[in-house]
Structure 1
Amino acid sequence: MQSTAAEDYVKAIYHHTEWQPEPVTPSQLATRLGLANSTVTEMVKKLAAAGLVHHRPYGAIELTRKGSLLALRQVRRHRVVETWLVERHGYEWDEVHDEAEILEHALSDRLLESIARSLGDPVRDPHGDPIPASDGTVTRPDAVLLAEARAGHEGAVVRISDNDPAMLRFLAEAGIALDSVLTVLGQKPYSGSIQVRASGGTVDLGPEVARAVWLAT
């Protein structure tokens, strides 16, 4: 079983556990994909029958080895395309996700690998997410979530979640991007905001942003 839908499902399951260890539940997967729970339940049954996932009724969903390989293939395609759009076609980092969702299914393997070579075989996409190698290996940076970093921690930004394009635009306007060095000054009382020092000065970042930015340890 290798349809566009199956590719999207296994990629979404992979994304859920890429930066945290808890497996995804059917309801969480439905929310991530913007689909009804019943639709996801039926598709998960098909994925399980195809040997792509492990799933027991009412339990979490986990990728099999076969499912992981398919997910990594799609993640590589998506992130190479995002990098290509930014580096070669003038897209901003908040504009590439939807385009990549379409193109990742349309490009041949030969063209995809040619694009990767032309970019110098990048190891991360415009948001810092690691690009799996063509053999499926992944190298992730040692990182801590900004929301969990202690006061005084200083580190370069190694990853910013691309789930919210508006947040990416906000961070760009604040002068915060990949490789920006941030110093955590501490959490402000009552507001929940975390104050950081960046090259442009002191910035207050709300809880949503603090849970979308990873710093090098």
Structure 2
Amino acid sequence: MKTSAPSSSIEDYVKVIYSFTEWQDKPITSSQLAQRLGVANSSVSEMVRKLKDQGLVDHKPYSAITLTGPGLRLALAMVRRHRLIETYLVQQLNYSWDEVHDEAELLEHAVSDTFIERVAAQLGDPRRDPHGDPIPTASGEVLMPAAHLLSGLDEGHTGRITRISDDNPELLRYLAAERIDLDAEVEVVGRRPFGGALVVRIGGVGNSREFDLADEITSALWVHSEQTHQGCLLVGS
């Protein structure tokens, strides 16, 4: 008997659960899951029970939701699809980085595994998407860069922007207009008095500019320091 493929709703749920914990350690709660998916709490409760019955998540009442091994494998496969499609749209079809998320959400459920692997080959098997998020390999391996939120860095810290959150398209458009992009050199100059903006210098020698960045921006930028290790490997097995 042939096992039916998971529904697009199941694929979306496990992908969001994984993405929530990818850059921080706290597991997602039902209310946070509902907020991210834009659905009612009751809908989340029903779907989480279904995911648990299928062995994709672990969950107890009033506790956080975590992926099981099979759930993680499915999530990584969906994340790979989404991020490869985003990369293809930017590199081959000239989409801007603030346009690709919604397009990828639609396309990731419609294309075949063969299509995805041909996209990966066409792009040269990229390791990250246009926002700096790592692209899992076909076998479920993820190379996470050793990076920290810009908002938490001390004065004098230097590094390069290695990831930019794609949660807010307007923020992405602002960063693009200011030419703040992946791999840009960053130095934390200090903070304005009385809880003011973070002052940072962006750009290399002879080409740097100072910015006063609000918390909403500094909480969307991850910085990799040259003194830290390249990253760690997570295997979805």
> Could you say which TM-score interval applies, normalised by the shorter chain?
over 0.9
CA distance in structure 2 between the aligned counterparts of 1:100 and 1:107, rounded to whole angstroms:
11
Q: Which residue of 1 aligns with 2:85?
A: 81
Q: Does 1:3 align with 2:7?
A: yes
Greater share of helix: 1
Which residue, 58, 62, 71 being the options, matches 1:58? 62
Q: Which residue of 2 aligns with 1:142?
A: 146
CA distance in structure 1 between the aligned counterparts of 2:117 and 2:9, rounded to whole angstroms:
23
Q: Which residue of 2 aligns with 1:167?
A: 171
Identity over the aligned pairs, expressed in percent? Answer: 53
Unaligned runs of 5+ in 1: none
Alpha-carbon distance, 1:38 to partner = 0.6
1:182-204 Cα offsets, whole Å, 9 max, x none, are 11112212243111001351001
Mean alpha-carbon deviation: is it higher for 192-201 or for 6-15? 192-201
Q: Which residue of 1 aligns with 2:119?
A: 115
Q: Which residue of 1 aligns with 2:209?
A: 201
CA distance in structure 1 between the aligned counterparts of 2:185 and 2:175, rounded to whole angstroms:
13
1:132-191 Cα offsets, whole Å, 9 max, x none, are 000000001111110111111111100000000000111111221001111111221224
Q: Which residue of 1 aligns with 2:223?
A: 215
Q: Does 1:21 align with 2:29?
A: no
Letter in 2 for 1:202: E
Structure 1 7/197 Cα, relative in aligned 2: closer, same or farther at 3 Å? same
CA distance in structure 1 between the aligned counterparts of 2:193 and 2:33, rounded to whole angstroms:
34
Mean alpha-carbon deviation: is it higher for 201-210 or for 181-190? 181-190
Asked whether the equivalents of residues 174 and 203 of structure 1 are also in contact (C-alpha less than 8 Å), the reply is no
* Consecutive aligned runs of 4 or more in structure 1 exceeding 4 Å deviation: none
1:91-147 Cα offsets, whole Å, 9 max, x none, are 000000000001111110001100110000000000000000000000011111101
Asked whether the equivalents of residues 93 and 168 of structure 1 are also in contact (C-alpha less than 8 Å), the reply is yes
CA distance in structure 2 between the aligned counterparts of 1:45 and 1:189, rounded to whole angstroms:
49
CA distance in structure 2 between the aligned counterparts of 1:133 and 1:192, rounded to whole angstroms:
41
Q: Which residue of 1 aligns with 2:228?
A: none
Letter in 2 for 1:146: L
Letter in 2 for 1:205: L
Give TM-score scaled by structure 2 length. 0.90
Letter in 1 for 2:209: G
Asked whether the equivalents of residues 94 and 169 of structure 1 are also in contact (C-alpha less than 8 Å), the reply is yes
Q: Which residue of 1 aligns with 2:233?
A: none
What pairs with 1:42-57 in structure 2 (closer than 5 Å)? 42-57=46-61
Letter in 2 for 1:5: S
The two structures, once aligned, show a CA RMSD in angstroms of 0.9
1:46-90 Cα offsets, whole Å, 9 max, x none, are 000000000001110000000000000000000000000000001
Which residue, 72, 90, 95 being the options, matches 2:94? 90
**Greater relative contact order, per chain length (Cα 8 Å cut-off, separation 6+):** 2
Give TM-score scaled by structure 1 length. 0.98
CA distance in structure 1 between the aligned counterparts of 2:129 and 2:218, rounded to whole angstroms:
20
